[in-house]
Structure 1
């Protein structure tokens, strides 16, 4: 194989390890055992273990089942797996979308307000000559 093909194969392998590590971190944070998550997601224990170790790259459908078992948004897993581009807002958007106590309409309203605040703050920073990537944490 030529160098470009080798790099592409390694990049795909890295995605598998990245998504597996991300799933393991989310599982540990949720304090769910591998066996419990496998049952909740409707996949076999060995298959989930292989995903976490980066030996298997799960399909979007399997990622959706795992997300449901972890009670996180499938979108978060899709981004980690390289299926989707990360959306502005990151963790806040994920948290709103994952909240089972909110209706879809309430979630959309919250996300619209959040995005409005983000745009206003970006325009304010831009007008002050700051870089958009800077956060309020770095301001004095």
Structure 2
């Protein structure tokens, strides 16, 4: 069941990227060039067949001229902003002392702990 949700999220992310690309009047080739990724890889992302890293999402966002945060939310890497909660992930993503790979690893570990703890809370409740 978790796999179905994961695949659904990938399809939704791909559709969102495709819509943004079309709204920007960019061809697949133009966006792939702007993002510095291969045309086939971008096509696979748009079709929901590949899970892009945070680094790739950032490159795509740059090519689309939208915020990387928008794609992170679509990908499930980042929750939509809540004014009442501190945004640890945002702090990680903006930390200039970390490289992209380190940021991605920290966000993924943080998210996995959140998911694990939600499961434990559901079992206890």
Normalising by the smaller structure, the TM-score range is 0.5 to 0.7
Residue number in structure 2 paired with 1:21:
15
Unaligned runs of 5+ in 2: 84-125
**TM-score, with length taken from structure 1:** 0.58
**Offset at residue 43 of structure 1 (A):** 0.3
The Cα RMSD (Å) is 1.1
Deviations 1:45-86 (A, max 9, x none): 000000000000101000000000000000000000010001
Q: Does 1:48 align with 2:69?
A: no
Question: Runs ≥4 in structure 1, deviation > 6 angstroms?
Answer: none
What are the equivalent positions in structure 2 for 1:6-17 lying under 5 Å apart? 7-17=1-11
**Offset at residue 37 of structure 1 (A):** 0.1
**Offset at residue 88 of structure 1 (A):** 4.8
**TM-score, with length taken from structure 2:** 0.65
Q: 2:53, 2:42 → 1: CA distance?
A: 12
**Offset at residue 34 of structure 1 (A):** 0.3
Residue number in structure 2 paired with 1:38:
32
Q: 1:88, 1:27 → 2: CA distance?
A: 27
Number of residue equivalences: 83
Q: 2:31, 2:70 → 1: CA distance?
A: 17
Larger C-alpha radius of gyration, 1 or 2?
Answer: 1
Q: 1:31, 1:87 → 2: CA distance?
A: 28
